[in-house]
Structure 1
């Protein structure tokens, strides 16, 4: 048995190749091809059986998707994609650091770690910008990040605030990066991709646009059940900022509730685990005998991708 996730609106040629690999090459007895968002929605509906609708925000390595679900079925007309993901944020941080301090264009893995360790989502962007321009200890945004040398220091880390030297250099031979406004300017691209010339909506507008395209009586249900999944949503402050920005876009009489799971990275995986044990599972999968008898058509009918 295998459950495998694939992107929304995947090309049928890729889907057919995937069927062949699963059933013919690897000889699985049964397979289920599904979107990661559908697994997250299943997880959410399992934990809150009284809810009928939810809106999954899935922000991963390459893209961010906003997908509305009603009774576990995705509403295709409401799906929105933003071409901003973790890879773009890491690459942007590499460019900023290479331009300002140290050539790190070849150090994707290290800079990705820097991003995960020190970046956060600002609640008041312009106020934080002002703080980041201050000198010395008044600059509460500034952090020094010690880079790994892969012999004594295996993994980079952020220097504790009390150990930071504000004037002059560190005595030790450690190689450090000094980060100020980069810490919040990089995740800001999830809210304003136009900051770096990507002419697309940020996540709050895309959510509002997605809900707007759906029947009006469903709007309150979607705004009350926004589920965050994917690695980018681990930035501190993301949930609070998204809720605040949505509040200004959504009509005042509608409540807004954004749910951030304990582990947004594994949330859809856990949903898949729950789905495998649910009574609906047997209805959704394609058995190998079925595939051998009817070919790709049986997968097309069963897998609503």
Structure 2
């Protein structure tokens, strides 16, 4: 079932850092004499650096710098990379030298280069090794100029070469041998689409989409904050990034994925529960002896209450019997004393006349009998006696004033009695009709069950449609801007006005200005409306009757199909998105209050690559951009480009990205078009490995800018090659 398929709980653990994360190496002599080039993949998120002769970079660290004051040592401390994230004080001051994907803070960049050279074990006053440095496409000349000056003037390096990280990754995967291709580099801050011909990037036709790992993490964080505005724990950017990396995927068809979420079975497959840590309240567990003692105490209290209630009833019965005896003696004393004295005693007892005394004696007798029957447990059926009508048929001429008054009283009592009898008879006739209708329905059900169930379903559907129509009308009337609401308010305001106007305005009359004054709307707001009309109550009663029959006789009609359950807020899609299907939502459960349900966000966040308008980005999607680039080439080149679509960069590791690009391109190109999409062997490290291959290739040394050339041509001078940026002429 659904519950069995969604037993997956996940946690978001903050990554732990330890300082120092790297120690200086002691093998520098092996590289000093050979002047091995140093390769630095300078990414906006992570920096990877090492000797070009090695298979992997010697150090990989977060590209941040922190300057803070250590209170224990009482001195200023400078930390780089993971060392800056290991200490809470340093982490709060950690800053990147990058703005988006451009190096802007060269003071921090110098600290990072110092850190790299120290860890590599370089112990000479200058760095006597060629440097290969990666950069993004179309880096501003000012940024590269400052970097060149820093390397040559600050470290006295012999030569420097720059290259685009994604093209280095393409080179590491054998792309330099291809006739053409398209490199899609989705990294931390941007996504670049670079066409290549003969292994060289065509930067004049390169496009950029301003969406990458950082933007996806920020978007995930915003979605979670909007979804859970009162979540008790604050989610960090790091946790949002982990949500993207661990749970996001690119759906083959985004609209189909949204459609599937409407069914609980498919929703449960996509929903993932993220459990945040919490401290459960301490519940005091009581021993069996304590529970028994409390139960006995409650029983004793209830016994005392019962005894007090019985004593109160007995006291009331005794008081009534005493009153009955006193009033009976007063009644019997009428024949033993003078009438004047007896009337005086009657007035003194609080009675108007003898008839008032008789009514009181009758009521007391009934009350005493009812109380005795209740004590004995006898159920009594109260029968209304027919009223006395001895004076009704006597003409008024034969009656005095007192008797005329009694006659009018008897007429009223007789009319009430007759009305009750007619209502009782009508009720009995209605009961008999209902029994007959139920008998006929039962006979129909037995004769043709399928047809009877279909008829009941149709009747139920008609009632549901009436309820929905009534709700729609109520919603329109509640909306101040709707036409139905405005017409109703206008009529009410006109009726309540001291000088109501006619519905038709004659020529020459003033223009209708209703609604310009808030007092017009105040009249409407003061009118109280009942929550449910009589018609709605009747419809609900009829609907409950039909649903009870379907629950009893239709196996396919389950309790969750009832109108009440279907219209419940807990069955809406919004509730499912925030609370999921499993476990059943309990607002009092503290564990659930610390849970996030990640479902639609898993595919919505990566979908921005294909539909940037989701976040308000005024750019074309990835597939459209690729198509626009391909159109700028001739026919033979297009074929080579489509046969070699290469994905690289950390954000390209999203599951399903290659398949989505392939299926989307396949749908817009002719059937016989050959399309091949492949991902880098290691999308994160291949840029460094490709730069290391470039540095080790002796034929590439001509693309290094030497110290002499720097001094002769200036810091703006670079040498163009197929894997790097170009200068604008």
Q: Do they superpose with TM above 0.5?
A: yes
User: For each residue in 1:171-225, what CA deviation from the matched residue of structure 2 results, as whole angstroms up to 9, or x when unmatched?
Assistant: 7599321111111111000111112221211111111111111233211111111
Task: Quote the residue 2:712 is aligned against.
Answer: 293
In 2 relative to 1, CA 69–105 (structure 1 residues): closer, same or farther, beyond 3 Å?
A: farther
Match for residue 602 of structure 2?
183
Q: What does 1:48-67 correspond to in 2, within 5 Å?
A: 49=177, 51-67=178-194
Q: Structure 1 CA distance, aligned partners of 2:186 and 2:713?
A: 36
Could you tell me whether the CA contact under 8 Å between 1:204 and 1:245 is conserved in 2? Answer: yes
Question: Structure 1 pair 133/27, CA: closer, same or farther in 2 (3 Å)?
Answer: farther
1:98 and 2:225 equivalent?
yes
How many residues end up aligned between the 2 structures?
Answer: 289
Q: 2:666 aligns with which of 238, 242, 247?
A: 247
Residue 155 of structure 1 corresponds to none
> How far apart in 2 are the matches of 1:25 and 1:125?
52
Once the two structures are superposed, what CA deviation does each residue of 1:127-154 show, in whole Å capped at 9, x if it has no partner?
A: 22133343478521100123468xxxxx
Q: 2:638 aligns to what?
A: 219
Distance 1:38 1:214 in 2: 20
Q: 2:651 aligns with which of 219, 224, 232?
A: 232
Q: Within 1, Cα distance between the matches of 2:628 and 2:277?
A: 43
By how many angstroms is 1:165 displaced?
4.0
Partners in 2 of 1:288 and 1:115 — Cα distance? Answer: 44
1:81-230 map, 5 Å: 81-102=208-229, 107-135=236-264, 139-147=268-276, 165-168=582-585, 175-230=594-649
Say whether the 8 Å CA contact 1:41–1:54 is kept in structure 2: no
Query: Which residue number corresponds to residue 439 of structure 2?
Result: none
Q: Contact 1:132/1:142 (CA < 8 Å) preserved in 2?
A: no
Measure how far apart 1:106 and its partner are: 6.1
Paired residue secondary structure (1:280) = helix
Where 2:702 maps in the other structure, the secondary structure is helix
Task: Please say if residues 55 and 226 of structure 1, whose CA atoms lie closer than 8 Å, have aligned partners that are also in contact.
Answer: yes
Once superposed, what is the RMSD of the aligned Cα atoms?
A: 2.5
The more displaced of 36-45 and 53-62 is 36-45
Larger radius of gyration: 2
Distance 2:714 2:625 in 1: 38
What SS class does the counterpart of residue 140 from structure 1 fall into? helix
For structure 1, the 5+ residue unaligned runs are: 150-163
Give me the whole-angstrom Cα distance separating, in 2, the residues matched to 1:38 and 1:140. 38
Judging by fraction of residues, say which structure has more strand: 1
Structure 2: 5+ residue stretches without partners: 1-129, 279-580
Sort the Cα spacing of 1:138 and 1:230 in 2 relative to 1 into closer, same or farther, 3 A: closer
In structure 1, how many angstroms separate the alpha carbons of the residues matched to 2:141 and 2:266?
57
* TM-score normalised by the chain length of structure 1: 0.86
Structure 2 residue 174 is matched with structure 1 residue 45: yes
Are the aligned partners of 2:137 and 2:725 in contact in 1 as well (CA < 8 Å)? no
Tell me how far 1:290 sits from its aligned partner: 2.4
Given candidates 186, 193, 199, the residue that maps to 1:72 is: 199
- Decide whether aligned partners of structure 1 residues 84 and 262 sit closer, same or farther in structure 2, where only a CA change above 3 A counts: same
